[in-house]
Structure 1
Amino acid sequence: MSPLRGIALKLTSVVLFTIMASLIKASSAHVPTGEAVFFRSFFAMPVIVAWLAMRGDLKTGLKAKNPVLHVWRGLIGVTAMGCGFAALGLLPLPEVTALGFAAPMLTVLLAALLLGERLRLFRLSAVVLGLVGVCIVLWPRLTLDSVDDAAMLGVALVLASAVMRALAQIQIRRMVAVEETSAIVFYFSLTATGFSLLTLPFGWVVPDAHVLAMLVGAGLIGGVAQIFITSAYRFAGAAVVAPFDYASILFAILFGYVFFDEVPTVMVLVGSAIVIAAGGIIIWRERQLGIQRGKARPNMTPQG
């Protein structure tokens, strides 16, 4: 174990995922969401296959013991990705990132409902605190005299993405009992690519060279980021590296300001701080309880 190396890998993955989200956001006005999902998934596969080959895990990575589980994981994950990508075109990057932090809170609730995990008062209080933070981020959208329909659609999409990401984590927790992590990573990209092709009849376009470069770059960077985040958990425990997910809000604020002229509101900053605090409490409590989810967490990211 090398905690510092694990933290460095995790922070690098967070930066890469934020770059990926920025590229998707920049291309959102030029290509439909389903097409963006295709490029993100398809061009991540060569990177993942090369990584599995280098590790000597290609054989296990291509072996699916229960294909149906992978199909469901792909369907849930691609829905989360699609909703998140669509939201990026409608809301500021920091706001999408902050609202996406609802996913870990929802995972705790869904684990209690679907997996029978005991939801103690301490964790339940942290979940409630986190959801209060999400409501603070949302509050300006809910109290404006003239409601921006596009922005409200963006809010609905990012919250739907958070719910689906939480469901994906529940599915992964079920899968790790019978499937290798390498197989889960590979077949998610494969099934996501396949499902995204179903949107082809709904208006795909031929992107120009600049947009094409952004889409291909998003896929390649997303694949590399997935490798970094998976590798991070090989060098340090989940309780050590998981809190660094929340560094994404800092990079989202920086990238949003530099590339999209987006300045986060005070409500977004306050709500994000509360959600981060709640997430930290949950991570600390799970460490205290000895809950081991190191195999499931590597497949989770702020972007889904």
Structure 2
Amino acid sequence: MNPLRGVLLKLGSVFLFTVMAAILKATAVSVPAGEQVFFRSLFAIPVILAWLALRGEMATGLRTRDPMSHAYRGIVGSIAMGTGFAGLGLLPFPEATALGYAMPLLTVIFAAMFLGETVRAFRLGMVGLGLAGVLIVLSPRLSAAADGVSLAETLGAVLTLIGAAFGALAQIFISRMVRTESTTAVVFWFSVTATVLSLVTLPFGWVLPDARTAALLVGCGVLGGAAQIMLTASYRFADASLVAPFDYASMLMALAIGWFVFDEGASPRMLAGAVVIIAAGVAIILRERSLGISRARRAGTPR
């Protein structure tokens, strides 16, 4: 264990994922979401393969015992990616980032519904608080007739939340799959599946990007693959409960990118909602960490 290395790897992955999202937003003007999914998935594959080759795990890292589980996870994850990318192109960057934080909250609900996990009062209360924060962020979009709110932005908010919901469902699939499948197999076969599924959208407006846009899209895939590897590695060096809260550093990064790159400000209401969502998420993580430490102590106590 090397907690500092784990935290640095997690922050690195968050930074790369945020830059990747900024590229997707920048190219959304001319490239449809389905085509973005194709580039994001296809060009992540060489990065993952190179990583496996360097670790000498090419043979074992791609082995699967349950191919159909990868297919189902790929379908759900591809929908999450496509709707999330579409929403990103329609919303201000910081707002899309804040709404994306609904995914871990919805994962808690889905885990109780589909996995039979026990959700106690504290965690349920924090999920409720987090969803209230989502409503605060979303409230200006609830009425398309509100001053300064366009139908496109309202659609963007809806698509982002749909993406968060399908992303949470994908997490449920993953939580089942990791019992028999390696993490690298899950990541690799998802990239393959998403690449193939994205081709379904080919008749719906794909374009031939210019050289600059194509380079950005290829870079998007490479960054996504590298970020996924760093994310996976971070959990090898530090406890999940330690590195998980650093996901929310993406809010600060999104605010900076939104301001300096896209000339987008953040309203006080959006910031207030983001703070509520982040506070609820961090509270759940810290609570789970505390319970885990207590369980470990009880397990180590001689009887």
TM-score of Structure 1 vs Structure 2, range by shorter chain: over 0.9
Deviation at 1:90, TM superposition (A): 0.3
Deviation at 1:142, TM superposition (A): 2.3
What is the rounded CA distance, in whole Å, between the counterparts of 2:57 and 2:245 in structure 1? Answer: 28
Q: Give the corresponding residue for 2:99.
A: 99
Calculate the aligned-residue CA RMSD, in Å: 1.1
What is the rounded CA distance, in whole Å, between the counterparts of 2:146 and 2:11 in structure 1? Answer: 40
Do 1:87 and 1:157's aligned partners in 2 also have CA atoms closer than 8 Å?
yes
**Aligned length in residues:** 291
Asked whether 1:251 is paired with 2:253, we answer yes
- Give a deviation string over 1:212-260, Cα, whole Å, max 9, x none: 0110110111111111111100100100000000000000010111110
Deviation at 1:59, TM superposition (A): 1.2
* Residue 233 of structure 2, aligned match among 221, 231, 239: 231
Do 2:140 and 2:146's aligned partners in 1 also have CA atoms closer than 8 Å?
no
Residue 260 of structure 1: SS of its match in structure 2? coil
Residue 142 of structure 2: SS of its match in structure 1? helix
Deviation at 1:99, TM superposition (A): 0.3
Do 1:60 and 1:182's aligned partners in 2 also have CA atoms closer than 8 Å?
no
Deviation at 1:290, TM superposition (A): 2.5
Asked whether 1:66 is paired with 2:66, we answer yes
* Residue 177 of structure 1, aligned match among 161, 171, 179: 179
Aligned residue identity for 1:139: S
Q: Give the corresponding residue for 1:138.
A: 138
Consecutive unaligned residues in structure 1, runs of 5 or more = 292-304
What is the rounded CA distance, in whole Å, between the counterparts of 1:56 and 1:65 in structure 2? Answer: 20
What is the rounded CA distance, in whole Å, between the counterparts of 2:252 and 2:90 in structure 1? Answer: 20
Do 2:35 and 2:201's aligned partners in 1 also have CA atoms closer than 8 Å?
yes
% identical aligned pairs: 58
Q: Give the corresponding residue for 1:161.
A: 163
Residue 73 of structure 2: SS of its match in structure 1? helix
What is the rounded CA distance, in whole Å, between the counterparts of 1:142 and 1:201 in structure 2? Answer: 32
Aligned residue identity for 1:206: L
TM-score, normalised to structure 1, is 0.94
Deviation at 1:61, TM superposition (A): 2.1
Asked whether 1:275 is paired with 2:277, we answer yes
Aligned residue identity for 2:256: L
What is the rounded CA distance, in whole Å, between the counterparts of 1:77 and 1:39 in structure 2? Answer: 15
Q: Give the corresponding residue for 2:223.
A: 221
Q: Give the corresponding residue for 1:118.
A: 118
Asked whether 1:203 is paired with 2:205, we answer yes
Do 1:57 and 1:182's aligned partners in 2 also have CA atoms closer than 8 Å?
no
What is the rounded CA distance, in whole Å, between the counterparts of 1:82 and 1:142 in structure 2? Answer: 22
Residue 290 of structure 1: SS of its match in structure 2? helix
What is the rounded CA distance, in whole Å, between the counterparts of 2:104 and 2:40 in structure 1? Answer: 23
- Give a deviation string over 1:108-148, Cα, whole Å, max 9, x none: 00000100000100000000010011111111222553552
Deviation at 1:32, TM superposition (A): 1.1
Report 1:12-23 matches (<5 A): 12-23=12-23
Aligned residue identity for 1:92: P
Deviation at 1:161, TM superposition (A): 0.5
Do 1:130 and 1:279's aligned partners in 2 also have CA atoms closer than 8 Å?
yes
Deviation at 1:81, TM superposition (A): 0.5
Asked whether 1:212 is paired with 2:214, we answer yes
Q: Give the corresponding residue for 1:82.
A: 82
